[in-house]
Structures are given as C-alpha cells and as structure tokens.
Amino acid sequence: MLGVSTKLLEVFQETGVSSRYQVVMVLDPYLPRESVETLRGHRLSEGVRFLSFVPDLVDLIHHSELVISRAGYNVVNEILLTGTKALIIPESHGGGEQELRVQSVHEENIRTVTEDEIFNDNGGQTILDFLNSPIPRVSNKFDKYAIGKTIIDDLESWRASRKDCR
C-alpha cells in the first residue's frame, strides 16, 4: 500500500497533476502509523491534503474529478452511485475478492489498472489520458443513502445464501 501511494505522489508530480488539481489522499485505517508518517513527510507530499478514513466518502467522491482507489466494496459502490471517473487498482488478497469485484464492473467511468501499470513508465500517461478523457458523469443527482440500503440488501442476501449452504 505504501509503495503504490508513494509512486502515485511521484506520478502526480511528474505529470503536473499535483500543480493543476487538489490532491487528497484518504488514509487506510489499517495503514501502519510509520507508513502514514512516511507519506506525510514525503518530499512530494507538499500541497497534498491527507484525510483520515471515514466510512462515508460519497460526498468527497462526488465532488472529485478523478478517484484512484483500491477495489473495496463500499468505495466501488460509491463510485458507481456518483458516476465519478475512477481508476481502480485491485489489491491482491488470497481469495482474489477485489480482482473478482472489478471484473463485474463495466461502466464507462471506471477503468481498472494493475499495480504494475502504475509502476511502469506509462503509469503517469495512463492517469493523464483517463483524467482528460471526455467521460460524462452518470448523474449529478444521487441519493447518498441509497448506498447504505444497497449494502444492507447485499449483506442480507449473502447471509441468507450462507444459511442455505448449511
């Protein structure tokens, strides 16, 4: 996680993103304190606004021009709900949960990239191309509470299907 975040700071600087846009990094609540301090003290973090993680990021996502995120359940749903452009970088887990999630997302405003794509020489160009692409938002009117209902419905459905398997 720290490696990807640090690389993104470098890419933002190299491409001029950090001078043309307000860059906000929402810190993973499981990121070790030493890693948080390393990011905040990074030579390229000047001008970057660091926020502690909060469960309800939908308003921040809605007002963003581009979101670069892992493929967590909530954040993907919030991106789908708002229609904001997003580059999703699935984090590798043993069960492949994030990779499976992004395989089911086929929206014009979302592009999946791998960590390798971010680290290669074209990572910055990938970000710039997507940022500058003319992809309209799905909607500017959204019910931010709909995400909560969707999450509850999904969890109840999952729980019911788990009971059926016993």
47 in the Ramachandran plot: left (φ > 0), alpha (ψ -120 to 50) or beta?
left
Chunked in runs of 10, what are the mean pLDDT values of the chain (166 residues)? 87 90 89 92 91 84 90 89 90 83 88 88 86 72 68 82 63
Residue 164's pLDDT is: 59
Q: Is-contact 34 59, C-beta < 8 A?
A: no
Residue 100's pLDDT is: 87
Domain ranges, residue 29: 2-164
Residue 153's pLDDT is: 86
The whole-model pTM stands at 0.76
What number of H helices and E strands is found in the chain? 9, 5
Residue 104's pLDDT is: 86
Report CA 133 to chain centroid distance, whole Å: 18
Neighbouring CB atoms inside 10 A of 90's CB total 22
- Joined together, the tokens standing for residue 70 give 């892992």
Residue 136's pLDDT is: 67
Residue 52's pLDDT is: 86
The CATH number of the domain where 133 resides is what? 3.40.50
Cα separation, 49 vs 108, in Å, equals: 28
Cα separation, 39 vs 50, in Å, equals: 9
In the chain, the number of structural domains is: 1
